[in-house]
């Protein structure tokens, strides 16, 4: 009896901090996907050859670096699972009558269970491409659901934290974006000119290699910082937008266009994962054109080009969404989503080019997936805001 009362008091306390818990779940889910990508690109997918244990024990052998890299992904997944279960318990106790809060929390836990089993099957079958592809697709659904849930919880509980007030930080967002793109394009240029496969003599040897390495480190750091700032920026924008729902557009045509864009973006993410899993990442060796094409790998070239054409289509749709948000709704807080989408789209384009021109280095592959997931989350949260507004307006 005392334990039950203690649990209820605990859930009541957590309920007052539910938006913060969901925000934490969003960040850790993004981190889980990023670390999962690190595990894959570094070749440590079988660092723990069994599942759910690692070498038959709960903690990997201390000296096995490969096992610990793989185990870090599992450990973050455990944290995500605990967060999701706690969120569901609080939602079931206090918010199950709110469909926009209840169903995303239910679906998030369902897809989490699927994700856990997919991860286990992926290891047991020794990481075949098919299960890895499905695993990535399911992870993106999970990430999108957490974003939708955050919007719903913020709307339901009218959460207005002062520490996330970043609506007026367009200048910071712009400058960090410029710095990240300058470092990334500079690194691409230096590596293409004096890197390991061009063979052009560097005029300032032996310092060229060090300069290229520093430019790579600065690119990774600046893009990572930009990603964090952009995440906080559009989360802040969603909170500010939901504080005045009357300022959210009610046009059904725009809502339908965002919905369609969200669906096509998901297929783009799936196609990108399929390019990686099928071995078509370097079927085209140039950017933006494909370069010389060999008939021997024509099927891989087609897979690669489908992803590029789909990316072009999605990019055009995201530009339209951003234009409408920034120019048509320029007096509304929701315009900040337009800035976030433009920043993420620009960085994703540069990272996609880096994948090809630098011959798929590990750092750009990890960041390409993580930024793509963040772009998907941003659009999913925008869709949730519009969906809630559509529901509210239909009542009157």
Q: What is the pLDDT of residues 276-316, one digit of tens each?
A: 999 999 999 999 999 888 888 999 999 999 999 999 999 99
pLDDT, mean of residues 154-162:
82
66 & 96 share domain: yes
The pLDDT confidence band at residue 166, using thresholds 50, 70 and 90, is confident
- Rounded CA gap, 154 and 19, in Å? 6
- Rounded CA gap, 100 and 103, in Å? 6
Across 138-155, b (16+ Cβ under 10 Å) vs e yields bbbbbbbbbbbbbbbbbb
CA count, 13 A, side-chain hemisphere, 387: 17
- Out of 138, 159, 180, a domain closes at 159
Provide the pLDDT for residue 160: 78
What is residue 125's three-state secondary structure?
A: coil
Tokens of residue 241, six digits: 């937008």
Given a contact cutoff of 8 angstroms between Cβ atoms, the answer to whether 28 and 15 are in contact is: no
140 & 153 share domain: yes
- Out of 159, 175, 202, a domain closes at 159
146 & 221 share domain: no
The model carries a pTM of 0.93
327 & 259 share domain: yes
99 & 219 share domain: no
Provide the pLDDT for residue 2: 67
pLDDT, mean of residues 115-133:
94
Q: Is the peptide bond before 52 cis (omega within 30 degrees of 0)?
A: yes
Residue 114: which domain range?
1-159
- DSSP one-letter string for 148-175: HHHHHHHHHHT---STT--TT-HHHHHH
- Out of 96, 130, 159, a domain closes at 159
Q: Who wins on pLDDT, 106 or 199?
A: 106
- Rounded CA gap, 336 and 171, in Å? 12
Given a contact cutoff of 8 angstroms between Cβ atoms, the answer to whether 125 and 49 are in contact is: no
68 & 138 share domain: yes
382 & 250 share domain: yes
Q: What digits encode the pLDDT tens for the residues 35-80? A: 999 999 999 999 999 999 999 999 999 889 999 999 999 999 999 9
Q: What digits encode the pLDDT tens for the residues 331-351? A: 788 898 999 999 999 999 999
Phi, psi at 251, each rounded to 5°? -65, 120
154 & 239 share domain: no
335 & 390 share domain: yes
Q: Which long-range contacts (CB under 8 A, 24 or more apart) does 387-393 make?
A: 387/100, 387/255, 388/100, 388/151, 388/152, 388/155, 388/242, 388/245, 388/248, 389/245, 389/248, 389/249, 389/250, 390/250, 390/252, 390/255, 391/100, 392/245, 393/250
- Compute the CA torsion angle 28, 26, 318, 277 (nearest 10 deg): 40
Q: How many domains does the chain have?
A: 2
Helices (H), ranges, the chain:
2-16, 18-41, 65-94, 99-124, 129-157, 170-194, 208-242, 252-278, 298-323, 336-357, 362-394
Given a contact cutoff of 8 angstroms between Cβ atoms, the answer to whether 358 and 281 are in contact is: no
The pLDDT confidence band at residue 396, using thresholds 50, 70 and 90, is very low
Given a contact cutoff of 8 angstroms between Cβ atoms, the answer to whether 194 and 202 are in contact is: yes
Given a contact cutoff of 8 angstroms between Cβ atoms, the answer to whether 130 and 157 are in contact is: no
97 & 140 share domain: yes
pLDDT, mean of residues 223-238:
92
Phi, psi at 201, each rounded to 5°? -70, 135
206 & 326 share domain: yes
pLDDT exceeds 70 at position 141: yes
Phi, psi at 54, each rounded to 5°? -125, 110
Residue-averaged pLDDT of the chain: 91
155 & 215 share domain: no
Using only C-alpha atoms, the chain has a radius of gyration, in whole angstroms, of 22
Provide the pLDDT for residue 162: 74
The pLDDT confidence band at residue 88, using thresholds 50, 70 and 90, is very high
Q: Who wins on pLDDT, 21 or 63?
A: 21
> How far, CA to CA in Å, does 60 sit from each of 109, 110, 115, 120?
27, 28, 22, 16
- Compute the CA torsion angle 54, 58, 61, 64 (nearest 10 deg): 50
Q: Who wins on pLDDT, 226 or 237?
A: 226
């Amino acid at each position: 009896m005392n334990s039950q009362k203690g649990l209820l008091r605990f859930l009541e306390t957590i309920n007052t901090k539910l938006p913060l818990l969901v925000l934490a779940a969003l960040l850790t889910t993004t981190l889980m996907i990023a670390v999962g990508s690190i595990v894959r690109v570094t070749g440590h997918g079988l660092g723990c050859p069994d599942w759910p244990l690692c070498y038959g024990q709960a903690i990997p052998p201390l000296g096995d670096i490969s096992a610990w890299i793989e185990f870090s992904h599992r450990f973050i997944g455990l944290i995500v699972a605990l967060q999701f279960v706690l969120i569901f318990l609080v939602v079931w106790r206090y918010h199950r009558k709110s469909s926009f809060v209840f169903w995303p929390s239910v679906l998030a836990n369902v897809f989490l269970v699927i994700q856990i089993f997919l991860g286990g099957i992926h290891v047991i079958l020794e990481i075949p491409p098919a299960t890895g592809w499905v695993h990535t697709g399911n992870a993106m659904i999970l990430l999108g659901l957490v974003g939708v849930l955050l919007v719903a919880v913020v709307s339901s509980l009218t959460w207005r934290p002062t520490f996330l007030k970043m609506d007026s930080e367009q200048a910071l967002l712009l400058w960090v974006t410029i710095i990240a793109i300058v470092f990334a394009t500079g690194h691409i240029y230096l590596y293409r000119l004096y890197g390991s496969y061009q063979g052009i003599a560097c005029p300032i040897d032996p310092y060229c290699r060090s300069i290229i390495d520093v430019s790579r480190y600065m690119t990774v750091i600046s893009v990572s910082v930009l990603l964090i700032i952009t995440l906080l920026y559009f989360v802040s924008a969603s909170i500010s937008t939901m504080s005045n729902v009357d300022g959210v557009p009610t046009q059904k045509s725009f809502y339908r266009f965002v919905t369609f864009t969200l669906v096509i973006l998901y297929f783009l993410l799936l196609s990108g994962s399929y390019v990686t899993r099928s071995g078509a990442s370097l079927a085209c060796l140039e950017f933006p054109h494909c370069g010389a094409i060999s008939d021997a790998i024509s099927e891989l070239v087609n897979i690669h080009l489908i992803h590029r054409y789909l990316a072009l289509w999605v990019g055009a749709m995201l530009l339209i969404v951003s234009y409408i948000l920034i120019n048509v709704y320029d007096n509304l807080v929701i315009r900040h989503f337009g800035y976030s989408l433009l920043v993420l789209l620009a960085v994703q384009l540069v990272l996609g080019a880096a994948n090809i021109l630098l011959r798929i280095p590990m750092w750009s592959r990890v960041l390409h997936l993580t930024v793509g997931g963040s772009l998907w989350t941003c659009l999913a949260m925008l869709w949730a805001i519009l969906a809630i507004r559509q529901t509210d307006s239909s009542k009157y």
